């Protein structure tokens, strides 16, 4: 198995694999990689038709890159079983051409706002609700080596952050004909705001243009910044003295909004290598990792939100206090969340956007020029990939 995850994931997989082996006698060996290098490695292994790994941890973000490499899971899950998973999680994992289920959601991923409630209280501030609020509050908390906000600025994390801002500005990645539209006025507004957080208002660490998820999370957990937007696993990481210096000093709030309150609603998922020589054992393990038992462990010990509706209902009903408030915020993000289109060639467009956003954030190119250039290249990529046949 090839998998990814945050700082607490090694303990999680050690526990899941040990429990699975104890129940079945099947032994599982695995390698851990961070998200971006993992995605690159899966594409390389898939293109090489490698059977080195039987199971992949994957993600809705780049799933269309893997449709040709993953074996469909439809025959292994009944319709009733699939109805117990969040529809938004399943839909984006289905190959639109073959209708094959390329992967099964392991946990839902959506972001909420994490802020230093102790510092906010000292300054008589409340968590930001709008883009304007975020700038105002962050400016008041920036100084003396501290910053009011942190955002990632590189690779996939930058593309997802831009996605949120694009949707919140009222835009979208493509128009009704499937042609790139992210360079329209809402996209320019979104990328300009994103850049200005770093370059104009200077409320974000200046080297944020080099941050991915781990650096983004570490800046907040170390106490260097006062606000961030992070995934469910952060709730557990920030509550653990081994991984956080701000235990008991933070609270959560909804993601900020502009014209809308839309953010990414995506999922980590488990996939079967179509070249695997051990499909029966691999499928048995995949089914265990998405079982209610494993999902409860994943939530209770690591705060990763369940992909099964029945398990989600259970953890929400049992929560109280700050955790209950956070889960309500998270459920709202999932309910209104979106994903980028699964059109031919769009995974390459996502990769193209990594450098596009980085150029704008680092003032190498204006947001408008960067997006216009990327839109022209994206249209060419998607045309060649057959998106408009």
Mean pLDDT along residues 95-112: 93
Q: Could you tell me the pLDDT band of residue 6, with boundaries at 50, 70 and 90?
A: low
Give residue for tokens 């259970």. 314
Mean pLDDT along residues 84-105: 91
Q: Could you tell me the pLDDT band of residue 5, with boundaries at 50, 70 and 90?
A: low
Q: What pLDDT, on a 0 to 100 scale, did the predictor assign at position 92?
A: 86
Question: In percent, how much of the chain has pLDDT > 70?
Answer: 99
Reported as a single tens digit per residue, the pLDDT across 328-374 is 999 999 988 888 888 888 988 998 999 999 999 999 999 999 999 99
Q: Which has the closest alpha carbon to 186: 371, 349, 354?
A: 371
Cα-based angle 227, 253, 157 (whole degrees, multiple of 5): 55
Q: What pLDDT, on a 0 to 100 scale, did the predictor assign at position 259?
A: 97
* Pairwise pLDDT comparison (89 vs 139), residue with the higher score: 139
Mean pLDDT along residues 118-132: 98
Question: 301 in helix, strand or coil?
Answer: helix
- Mind giving me the DSSP string for 228-252? EEE-THHHHHTT-TTT-S-TTS-EE
Q: Could you tell me the pLDDT band of residue 280, with boundaries at 50, 70 and 90?
A: very high
- Under a CB-based contact definition with an 8 Å cutoff, are residues 315 and 325 in contact? no
Mean pLDDT along residues 75-79: 93
**How much is the pTM?**
0.89
Measure CA of the first residue to CA of the last residue in the chain; give whole Å: 36
Q: What pLDDT, on a 0 to 100 scale, did the predictor assign at position 339?
A: 85
Q: What pLDDT, on a 0 to 100 scale, did the predictor assign at position 7?
A: 67
Q: Which has the closest alpha carbon to 13: 2, 337, 207?
A: 2
Q: What pLDDT, on a 0 to 100 scale, did the predictor assign at position 121?
A: 98
Q: Which has the closest alpha carbon to 258: 92, 120, 133?
A: 133
Q: What pLDDT, on a 0 to 100 scale, did the predictor assign at position 379?
A: 98
Query: Alpha-carbon distance 3 to 23, whole Å?
Result: 21
Check pLDDT > 90 for residue 36: no
Contacts of 200 (CB under 8 A, 6+ apart): none
Query: Alpha-carbon distance 127 to 115, whole Å?
Result: 7
Mean pLDDT along residues 29-55: 87
Query: Alpha-carbon distance 311 to 142, whole Å?
Result: 40
Mean pLDDT along residues 297-301: 90
Mean residue pLDDT across the chain: 93
260: left (phi over 0), alpha (psi -120 to 50) or beta: beta
Q: What pLDDT, on a 0 to 100 scale, did the predictor assign at position 32?
A: 85
Q: Could you tell me the pLDDT band of residue 2, with boundaries at 50, 70 and 90?
A: confident
Q: What pLDDT, on a 0 to 100 scale, did the predictor assign at position 63?
A: 84
């Amino acid at each position: 198995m090839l998998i990814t995850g945050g700082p607490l994931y090694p303990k999680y997989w050690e526990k899941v694999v040990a429990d699975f082996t104890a129940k079945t006698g099947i032994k599982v060996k695995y390698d851990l990689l961070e998200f971006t290098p993992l995605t690159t490695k899966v594409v390389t292994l898939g293109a090489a038709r490698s059977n080195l790994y039987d199971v992949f941890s994957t993600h809705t973000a780049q799933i269309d890159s893997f449709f040709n490499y993953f074996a469909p899971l439809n025959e292994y899950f009944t319709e009733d079983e699939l109805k117990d998973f969040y529809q938004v999680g399943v839909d984006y994992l289905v190959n639109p051409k073959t209708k094959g289920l390329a992967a099964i959601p392991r946990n839902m991923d959506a972001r909420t706002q994490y802020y230093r409630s102790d510092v906010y209280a000292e300054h008589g501030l409340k968590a930001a609700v709008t883009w304007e609020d975020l700038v105002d509050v962050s400016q008041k908390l920036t100084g003396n080596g501290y910053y009011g906000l942190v955002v990632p600025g590189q690779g996939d994390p930058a593309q997802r952050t831009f996605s949120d801002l694009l949707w919140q500005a009222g835009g979208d990645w493509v128009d009704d004909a499937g042609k790139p539209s992210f360079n329209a006025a809402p996209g320019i507004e979104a990328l300009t705001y994103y850049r200005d957080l770093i370059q104009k208002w200077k409320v974000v660490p200046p080297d944020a243009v080099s941050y991915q998820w781990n650096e983004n999370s570490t800046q907040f957990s170390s106490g260097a910044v006062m606000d961030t937007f992070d995934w469910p696993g952060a709730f557990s990481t920030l509550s653990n003295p081994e991984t956080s210096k701000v235990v008991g000093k933070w609270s959560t709030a909804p993601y900020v909004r502009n014209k809308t309150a839309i953010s990414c609603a995506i999922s980590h998922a488990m996939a079967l290598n179509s070249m695997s020589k051990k499909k029966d054992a691999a499928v048995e393990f995949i089914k265990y990792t998405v079982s209610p038992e494993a999902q409860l462990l994943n939530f209770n010990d690591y705060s990763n939100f369940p992909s099964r509706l029945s398990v989600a209902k259970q953890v929400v009903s049992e929560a109280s206090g700050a955790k209950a408030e956070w889960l309500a915020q998270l459920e709202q993000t999932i309910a209104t969340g979106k994903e980028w289109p699964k059109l031919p060639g769009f995974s390459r467009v996502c990769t193209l956007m990594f450098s596009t956003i980085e150029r704008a954030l680092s003032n190498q190119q204006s947001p408008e020029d960067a997006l216009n250039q990327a839109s022209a290249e994206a249209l060419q990529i998607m045309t060649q990939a057959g998106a408009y046949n």
